[in-house]
Structure 1
Amino acid sequence: MKKITLLFTIITQLIVAQNYTEYATGNTTDIDTNHEFGICMMGGASENDNAMIWFLEKANGGDVVVLRASGSDGYNNYMYSQLGVSINSVTTFVFNNEAGAIDPYVLQKVENAEAIWFAGGDQYDYVSFFKDNAMEDALNTFINTKQGVIGGTSAGMAILGSAYFSAENGTVTNAQALSNPYDNRMTLGYNDFLDIPFLGNVITDTHYDDPDRRARHFTFLARYATDNPFSSSGIACNEYTSVCIDQFGEAHVYGDYPNYDEFAYFIFANCNNNTYWPETCVDGQPLTWDREGEAVKVYKIPGTQTGENYFNLTDYTNGSGGNWENWFVTNGSFSTSPSSNPFCSALSVTENETLEISVGPNPFSDVITITSQLNKFDVKLYDIFGKQIAQYNDQSHIETTNLATGLYFLQISSEGLQQTFKMIKD
């Protein structure tokens, strides 16, 4: 009987070893701390120490879990003892397959963590191992219920937006994307993986020092605007640049500018252009998204040691320390030009003269009121991730007591006309 038990134990250990490898540093006893929500994203080269300190301080002395599909324990000592931030432990899991990611022991570690970090590598490994299973559920619970701090670099940053490039068929170049936005390498996921505040309808990209990045990222946004009822936004980092987003939606940029050209990019369809979608975004034809040379607005921010430069993700209307650019594509040719602040007003109460309709208050608390002379109109309410959560017909007062605080989209349609309002619940 003892031999059978020993054999079972050995077999179990071998199965676990094949599914994942664990590296643990620090206290093995879990603790609870008064942690804070935050998002830390890095461009893919060596980590920015100041941004990583910001990330660890959000854990408030708690436990950090690192998730990766290659490599080993490179983060353990770096996070635990080299940055001067006291934390309880760092545990790294290196996964070989989905079975490792959904192992109950691993899921418990994720649940107990105050901070979760995604390493680099191949982002399709993360999509394959973590999506549509218990790990996805655990991560979204950690983010939205426990409200821990989350972050990643390179591939780990690439999966954090609600829309993402999965790299299922390998990477894609600028030329491939621009010549055919539906090339078989343009594998995108929409609102079906991680639900992270302030990253709804956002596609991230990294290694922006590489000249083969900006135009393909632009094409990701064009595809999203074509395939979905909303325009998308983008956040990108040069390799040594980091973006840290606090609980209020301020995205601060860390780097070593002016010693090096280290920038983050905040990208969105021109808010002053009512026809924000691409002119030509179809399978087998070159992309055109021009809109008179102002298709997309970009706020380019240099990263500094103190991270004082920022962009406001709650409304995409203002920032500090950066410069505005226009990005546009004509018949597959990508161009940029200097620009100015588009002075978006999407978060104010918006009136549409054609529909003769207004919506308020904004921000709202318990009720949204629609004022209109229209006899018939349809209302759809979407959350920050683009998911429809309610629909109404000819209803002027919409009860919102049960809605969580955050950003919403209210879409009103009447006789073939349509207006979308960006709303905040406080």
Structure 2
Amino acid sequence: MNKITLTIVLFTKLIVAQNYTEYATGSSVDAETNHEFGICLMGGASENDDAMVWFLNKANGGDVVVLRASGSDGYNDYFFTDLGVTLNSVTTFVIDNEAGATDSYVLQKVANAEAIWFAGGDQFDYVSYFKDNAMEDVLNNFINTKGGVIGGTSAGMAILGGGYFSAENGTVTNAQALSNPYHSRMTLGYNDFLDIPFLENVITDTHYDDPDRRGRHAAFLARYATDNNSRAFGIACNEYTAVCIDDSGRAYVYGEYPDYPEFAFFLQSNCVANFMPENCIDGQPLTWNHTGEAIKVAKIPGLYSAENYIDLTDWSNSQGVIWEDWSVNNGSFSNTSSTNPNCDLLSISENDTIGFFVSPNPFSNTITIASQLTNYDIIIYDSFGKQVAQFQNQSQVDTSNLSSGLYFLNVSSEKLDETFKLLKN
């Protein structure tokens, strides 16, 4: 081999090597286990060990992949040895660009994992490297088909919501977001990246020890509501707090309260017909007030035992919650104490009826509708009020195309109009 050819070969290997760096701990042989679905959201400082044990146990002795765009192998020994959870392997990939994210070897390791963790850093790196390519496809297949456990901290938590702050133009301050919700740094994405159950209309935020984060988070939700004509939701954590969501949608909060002021926050647009911001316009201060009740917030202390929770199928059923009302008036953020809104997401009542009998609940792929009536319409809505299916005069309704979660089934005729709250496994 001559010097020119050798130089070309070495240069090519260097380019490939620069796309990602791998750190591997444990077995190099893939393990297949009876893993479980789950979501772990971490506030951005050092990890809560109890929450991380919850996360790793979902892998059931399988393989963990850590994805990051900076740093090195800090998670490998922590996951594999320090927490006392038996794992087959921990592999960290430090991804340098989209080519590294879509490398066939990296994609296969991600697909084979039972648990995937996103480290902190710059969330726009993750959006740039992982979105609209093969990595996005592999991640969504891992979540929704394989049913693995996924989580992240700081920037890694920021990308997990259906809505997300991309930080494409850098971070945005409280003052910038509230004075102009369409500021050039208010770069948001909507339901076009990761598709994670229970987080579809949610924008996450971290480092909530800084009270200014709350104002800009309110602005994120105002933008989501305005741009999508839909109620908006948010989940946020103080830095040493974690939220762990199981396959039923129940979100438990880990922390060291009352020793430390560690809380998670669950935000939702008020469940009223007129929930939209009064003024969310480019170049003008945000007003989202509605007599001080624009956003209903469940502030949940994180306990060592994680006994406190909120159910994300209805954003109301909960334990240990401190309820607050948040609002913004002409760019000024405020919050006051409140009570559980007991929101019914479609403002309907659950009534027994002799006209229609709907079963089973929970359901899998088929819903049975029994009635003495022969002419009726059937409409299915998701938990955010969006119509997802429509039928007429059917006693067996096929729902195989619907993902797991909470749904509302409305059956109506000339004489009866009933709505049923149903959960799909």
> What is the TM-score of this pair, normalised by structure 1?
0.87
SS of residue matched to 2:141: helix
1:150 to 2:158 alignment: no
SS of residue matched to 2:235: strand
Where does residue 167 of structure 2 map in the other structure? 167
Where does residue 51 of structure 2 map in the other structure? 51
Question: Contact between 2:182 and 2:282, CA under 8 Å: does it hold in 1?
Answer: yes
Displacement of 1:343 after TM fit? 1.4
How do 1:223-302 and structure 2 match up within 5 A? 223-271=223-271, 273-302=272-301
SS of residue matched to 1:222: helix
1:126-167 per-position Cα deviation (integer Å, ceiling 9, x unaligned) = 000000000000000000011000000000000000110000
Unaligned 5+ runs, structure 2: 351-355, 412-418
Where does residue 82 of structure 1 map in the other structure? 82
Question: Contact between 1:347 and 1:362, CA under 8 Å: does it hold in 2?
Answer: no
Give, in whole Å, the separation in 2 of the partners of 1:25 and 1:178: 46
Q: Residue 399 of structure 1 is aligned with which of 397, 400, 420? A: 397
1:395-415 per-position Cα deviation (integer Å, ceiling 9, x unaligned) = 465933323432347799xxx
Displacement of 1:423 after TM fit? 5.7
1:343 to 2:327 alignment: no
1:84-142 per-position Cα deviation (integer Å, ceiling 9, x unaligned) = 00101110000111000000000000011000000000000000000000000000000
Give, in whole Å, the separation in 1 of the partners of 2:160 and 2:421: 22
Give, in whole Å, the separation in 2 of the partners of 1:322 and 1:277: 25
Displacement of 1:62 after TM fit? 0.5
**What letter is aligned with 1:399?**
V
Matched length: 411
Question: Contact between 1:201 and 1:386, CA under 8 Å: does it hold in 2?
Answer: no
Give, in whole Å, the separation in 1 of the partners of 2:25 and 2:5: 30
Where does residue 328 of structure 1 map in the other structure? 327
Displacement of 1:318 after TM fit? 1.5
SS of residue matched to 1:116: strand
SS of residue matched to 1:306: coil
Question: Contact between 1:45 and 1:240, CA under 8 Å: does it hold in 2?
Answer: yes
- Going from structure 1 to structure 2, the CA distance change for 1:274 and 1:385 (only over 3 Å counts) comes to closer
**What letter is aligned with 1:37?**
F
- Going from structure 1 to structure 2, the CA distance change for 1:421 and 1:169 (only over 3 Å counts) comes to farther
Where does residue 96 of structure 1 map in the other structure? 96
Give, in whole Å, the separation in 1 of the partners of 2:135 and 2:273: 39
- Going from structure 1 to structure 2, the CA distance change for 1:331 and 1:253 (only over 3 Å counts) comes to same
Give, in whole Å, the separation in 2 of the partners of 1:368 and 1:182: 47
1:361-380 per-position Cα deviation (integer Å, ceiling 9, x unaligned) = 795743597x9xxx999x98
Displacement of 1:345 after TM fit? 2.6
1:42-62 per-position Cα deviation (integer Å, ceiling 9, x unaligned) = 000001111001111100110
Give, in whole Å, the separation in 2 of the partners of 1:308 and 1:131: 35
**What letter is aligned with 2:237?**
C
1:206-232 per-position Cα deviation (integer Å, ceiling 9, x unaligned) = 000012200100111111111113211
Question: Contact between 1:241 and 1:264, CA under 8 Å: does it hold in 2?
Answer: yes
Question: Contact between 1:382 and 1:388, CA under 8 Å: does it hold in 2?
Answer: yes
Question: Contact between 2:313 and 2:383, CA under 8 Å: does it hold in 1?
Answer: no
Where does residue 41 of structure 1 map in the other structure? 41
Unaligned 5+ runs, structure 1: 352-357, 413-419
**What letter is aligned with 1:38?**
G
**What letter is aligned with 1:40?**
C
- Going from structure 1 to structure 2, the CA distance change for 1:118 and 1:295 (only over 3 Å counts) comes to same
Where does residue 416 of structure 1 map in the other structure? none
Give, in whole Å, the separation in 2 of the partners of 1:235 and 1:136: 22
- Going from structure 1 to structure 2, the CA distance change for 1:382 and 1:95 (only over 3 Å counts) comes to farther
- Going from structure 1 to structure 2, the CA distance change for 1:211 and 1:411 (only over 3 Å counts) comes to farther
> What RMSD, in angstroms, separates the aligned Cα atoms of the two structures?
3.2
